[in-house]
């Protein structure tokens, strides 16, 4: 019987500011929110100092569905990222790769496609696949002990997986002592001994 690698372990990635960083897209999305809110923008900016985007918008009466529709209308203009493709191809030889984002699923699909990594991802989930956004426990239904979770926000991307026994990898210039591993860029992931 030929040797076969057991690919039951998963790496679950956050998307925005984890697998890619694109300040211009973030600015366009934020501008769309401000245009939509009009006079309520000042209140939104005040709420954002202590809360996430969606929680702030919901406090102002904007539904999740309205937010997702608004985000879907913002054009995504990314280029294929050969370095990211190579990294994920290498990781895919040992792990099943998943993406879990609070962005609408349509935006997740388009982002993965434009980055050139859609065919490397086993499954991907957007915020509209769930009743609540991360860090709600329902979002992490696929996480099992020993899986690897990678994100740029410990509270949203990694706290629940850590409780479930996952290995957490935090991406930031500023390390987080609660994470198992701290890296500054997604490209450092290939150097870790996981």
Q: Look up the CATH number of the domain holding residue 150.
A: 3.40.50.1000
The answer, yes or no, to whether residue 6 has pLDDT greater than 80, is: no
Band (59; pLDDT cuts 50, 70, 90): very high
Residue 77's contacts (CB-CB under 8 Å, 6 or more residues apart) are 24, 25, 114
Same domain, 109 and 14: yes
Same domain, 108 and 68: no
Say if 5 falls within a structural domain.
no
Band (3; pLDDT cuts 50, 70, 90): very low
Same domain, 62 and 153: no
Same domain, 136 and 66: no
What's the predicted TM-score (pTM) here?
0.90
Say if 106 falls within a structural domain.
yes
Number of domains in the chain: 2
Say if 34 falls within a structural domain.
yes
Same domain, 181 and 122: yes
Residue 28's contacts (CB-CB under 8 Å, 6 or more residues apart) are 74, 75
Say if 1 falls within a structural domain.
no
Same domain, 121 and 171: yes
Q: What is the pLDDT of residue 7?
A: 59
Q: Could you list the residue range(s) of the whole structural domain that residue 91 is in?
A: 10-20+79-191
Say if 3 falls within a structural domain.
no
High-pLDDT (> 90) share of the chain, %:
87
Same domain, 16 and 90: yes
Say if 41 falls within a structural domain.
yes
- The DSSP secondary structure of the chain, one letter per residue, reads ---------EEEE--BTTTB--HHHHHHHHHHHHHHHGGGHHHHHHHHTTS-HHHHHHHTT--HHHHHHHHHTS-------HHHHHHHHHHHTTSEEEEE-SS-HHHHHHHHHHHT-GGG-SEEE-GGGSSS-TTSGGGGTT--TT-EEEES-IIIIIHHHHHTT-EEEEESSS--TTSSEEESSGGGGGGS--
Say if 153 falls within a structural domain.
yes
38-55: average pLDDT: 92
Say if 99 falls within a structural domain.
yes
The answer, yes or no, to whether residue 1 has pLDDT greater than 60, is: no
């Amino acid at each position: 019987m030929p040797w076969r690698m057991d690919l039951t372990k998963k790496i679950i990635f956050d998307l925005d500011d984890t697998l890619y960083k694109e300040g211009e897209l973030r600015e366009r999305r934020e501008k769309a929110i401000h245009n939509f809110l009009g006079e309520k923008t000042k209140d939104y900016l005040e709420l954002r100092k202590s809360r996430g985007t969606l929680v702030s918008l919901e406090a102002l009466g904007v539904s999740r569905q309205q937010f997702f529709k608004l985000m879907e209308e913002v054009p995504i203009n990314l280029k294929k990222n050969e370095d990211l493709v190579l990294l994920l191809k290498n990781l895919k030889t040992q792990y099943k790769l998943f993406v879990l984002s609070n962005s609408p699923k349509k935006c997740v699909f388009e982002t993965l496609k434009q980055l050139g990594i859609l065919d490397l991802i086993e499954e991907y989930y957007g915020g509209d696949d769930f009743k609540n956004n991360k860090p709600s426990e329902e979002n992490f239904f696929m996480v099992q002990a020993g899986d690897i979770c990678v994100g740029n926000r410990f509270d949203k991307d990694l706290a629940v997986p850590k409780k479930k026994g996952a290995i957490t990898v935090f991406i930031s210039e500023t390390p987080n002592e609660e994470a198992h591993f701290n890296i500054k860029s997604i490209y450092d992931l290939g150097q870790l001994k996981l």
